[in-house]
Amino acid sequence: MMLDTRKKILIVGLGLIGGSYAKALRKLGFRISAITLNREDIDYSIENGIIDEGFTEVTEESVSEAELIIFALYPKTFREWIEKYQHFFKSGALITDVTGVKSSVVYEIQEMLRPDVEFIAAHPMAGKEVYGVQNSDPKIFHGANYIVTPTDKNTESAIEDCLELGRLMGFERVSVLSPEKHDEMIGFVSQLTHCIAVSLMNCYDGEKLQDYTGDSFRDLTRIARINDEMWSELFLLNKETLLEQMDKFLLEFGKLRKTLETGDRETMREMMKISTARRALFDKK
């Protein structure tokens, strides 16, 4: 069904991710329209062949023809949008998103949504340290994970279509997780790692640090360049799960600290062996 390029796709929010979706899908032959706040982003995107048409206002005209609508907005803006404008949706439309947290978003949106449209949530685990449609690039999807998080309100065909969307755009691994499992996993592999990087950069105000750093510090703090507006919202929307993950990390870090304090070299080496074996699994892939 997805491969039917007569389907009209609307992207709401034309930033880095929205723009990368647009580029990937238009290349496949889909007709892409977009709604985004800034006129210059629309102009840039039309001039560069990223979208076919664009709007800065949400109107019946801009929404009602789309059969697939992709929301690439911050979670709270996404919810407000649905509340305010869902009466414009075409009956039978399929809605998906790119939001980085799920439990706190999916159920609420599905609850408030008109019964004749379906929302199937997805998380493209891709990004860059730069923003805006001007930096969009579907290559960020290559080698990346795309996770669909259905609930029991979703139909099999919507789940399949959403998975197909991920495959079509070039994601390497496409999978299904419950919203709760997704948030636990993302709390660990993404949010906790960002917490660590931010804390680490807050530790040291030495300006000359860059003169002495090796690759390890550079790699570890790359993600310390963070969009504070977006990430603070995502952290707070995943509060309980992220607190759990932070506490798990604190437990292990504390254990390692204790081996150092007491000179327990055997336990220290044991922890290093575990980390080495587990990390080696990644490099095999």
Site for a second copy in 18-57 (CB under 8 A): none
Both tokens of 84, joined, read 């305010």
The whole-angstrom separation of Cα 88 and Cα 91 is 9
List, in sequence order, the alpha helices (H) in the chain: 16-27, 39-47, 60-63, 75-85, 103-112, 156-168, 179-186, 193-203, 215-221, 228-237, 239-262, 265-284
Minimum separation from the CB atom of position 50 to a second copy (A): 24
Please pick, from the candidates 10, 98, 106, 197, the single residue that binds a second copy as defined by CB under 8 A.
Answer: 197
Residue 227 falls in which region: left (phi positive, over 0), alpha (psi -120 to 50) or beta = beta
Q: Is 73 near a second copy (CB under 8 A)?
A: no
Which is nearer to a second copy, 5 or 232 (by Cβ)?
A: 232
Q: Is 213 near a second copy (CB under 8 A)?
A: yes
**Using an 8 Å Cβ cutoff, are 140 and 23 in contact?**
no
Please pick, from the candidates 117, 159, 176, 177, the single residue that binds a second copy as defined by CB under 8 A.
Answer: 177
Which is nearer to a second copy, 47 or 261 (by Cβ)?
A: 261
Minimum separation from the CB atom of position 152 to a second copy (A): 22
Residue 48 falls in which region: left (phi positive, over 0), alpha (psi -120 to 50) or beta = alpha
Q: Is 196 near a second copy (CB under 8 A)?
A: yes
The whole-angstrom separation of Cα 50 and Cα 33 is 9
Q: Is 249 near a second copy (CB under 8 A)?
A: yes
Among the listed ranges 53-61, 80-88, 108-116, 196-204, the one in contact with a second copy (CB under 8 A) is 196-204
Minimum separation from the CB atom of position 80 to a second copy (A): 18
Minimum separation from the CB atom of position 214 to a second copy (A): 4
Q: Is 77 near a second copy (CB under 8 A)?
A: no
Minimum separation from the CB atom of position 175 to a second copy (A): 6
Please pick, from the candidates 73, 126, 165, 169, the single residue that binds a second copy as defined by CB under 8 A.
Answer: 126
The whole-angstrom separation of Cα 20 and Cα 24 is 6
Cβ partners under 8 Å of residue 259, min gap 6: 265, 267, 268, 271
Please pick, from the candidates 47, 111, 152, 283, the single residue that binds a second copy as defined by CB under 8 A.
Answer: 283
**Using an 8 Å Cβ cutoff, are 167 and 25 in contact?**
no
Cβ partners under 8 Å of residue 31, min gap 6: 5, 8, 9, 52
Please pick, from the candidates 76, 114, 167, 273, the single residue that binds a second copy as defined by CB under 8 A.
Answer: 273
φ, ψ at 15 (rounded to 5°): -105, -150
Scan residues 129-168 and list those touching a second copy (CB under 8 A): 129, 144-145, 147
Among the listed ranges 3-11, 24-32, 151-159, 240-248, the one in contact with a second copy (CB under 8 A) is 240-248
The whole-angstrom separation of Cα 203 and Cα 53 is 47
Please pick, from the candidates 1, 37, 112, 200, the single residue that binds a second copy as defined by CB under 8 A.
Answer: 200
**Using an 8 Å Cβ cutoff, are 36 and 42 in contact?**
yes
Please pick, from the candidates 55, 56, 127, 164, the single residue that binds a second copy as defined by CB under 8 A.
Answer: 127
